Amino acid sequence: MNIENTKAQMRKGVLEYCILSILNNGEAYPSEIIDQLKAGKLIVVEGTLYPLLTRLKNAALLSYRWEESTSGPPRKYYQLTEKGEKFLIELASTWNDLVKAVELTRKSKN
């Protein structure tokens, strides 16, 4: 088994949660989101983000507005919707449970 593959799988699972968390702090456009995710080494390439953002928007978890830019084409500014906020809360609790479970498993090995 390829370790890079597994790593990518793990990151993928968490990506949605992270994007929603980032947007919880305030609206942002894709490059900003990417920068934060790169800082946490969660994303290696930007391409991963765009399809995900569109899907989250289509699922009504995100919404966006257009903003004109001086240095290029207009940009989408994303923000959480109410549904998105609820989603985030649930994901947060799942994440907490997951962390606890993993810790438990690791400890029990010793």
Partner 1 sequence: MNQTLTINISGIVFHIEVDAYETLKSYLNKIKSNFNNSEERDEIMQDIESRIAELFNEVISDGNQVIISLDVEKMIAIMGEPEQYITEEEEEPIHSKAQHTRKDKKLFRNPDERILGGVSSGLAAYIGLDTVWIRLFFVAAFFMGFGVLTYIILWMVMPEAKTASDKLKMKGEPINIQNIGKTFEEEAQKVNEKIKNMDTEKFSVKIGNIIENIVTAIGSVLTTIFNVLGKVIGITFLIVGTFLLVTLIATLFGSTAIISITNEGIFSIASYDLFNLFFNSEDEFYLASFGLLLTIGVPIVSIIYLAIKILFKIKSHYSVPITLIVLFVIGLSLSSLVGIKVAKEFATDEHLIKTEHIESSSSILVLKSSNTEMPGEGIVEDEITSISLDEELLYLQFVKLTIKKSESDSLLLKTKFSSHGSNYKEALKNAQTINYSYDMLDSTLQLNNFFSTLKENKIRGQHVKLTLYIPLYQVVYLDKSLKELIYDVDNVTNTYDKKMLDKKWVMLEKGLTCLDCENVKGISNFQLDSLKNYTSINDSLTTN
Q: Which of 7, 10, 40, 55 binds partner 1 (CB under 8 A)?
A: 55
Closest CA to 53 of 26, 74, 34, 25: 34
Q: Is position 73 an interface residue for partner 1 (rule: CB under 8 A)? A: yes
Q: Is position 66 an interface residue for partner 1 (rule: CB under 8 A)? A: no
60 Rama class: left (phi>0) / alpha (psi -120 to 50) / beta: left
Q: Is position 4 an interface residue for partner 1 (rule: CB under 8 A)? A: no
Q: Which of 50, 83, 93, 100 binds partner 1 (CB under 8 A)?
A: 50
Q: Which of 76, 77, 79, 95 binds partner 1 (CB under 8 A)?
A: 76
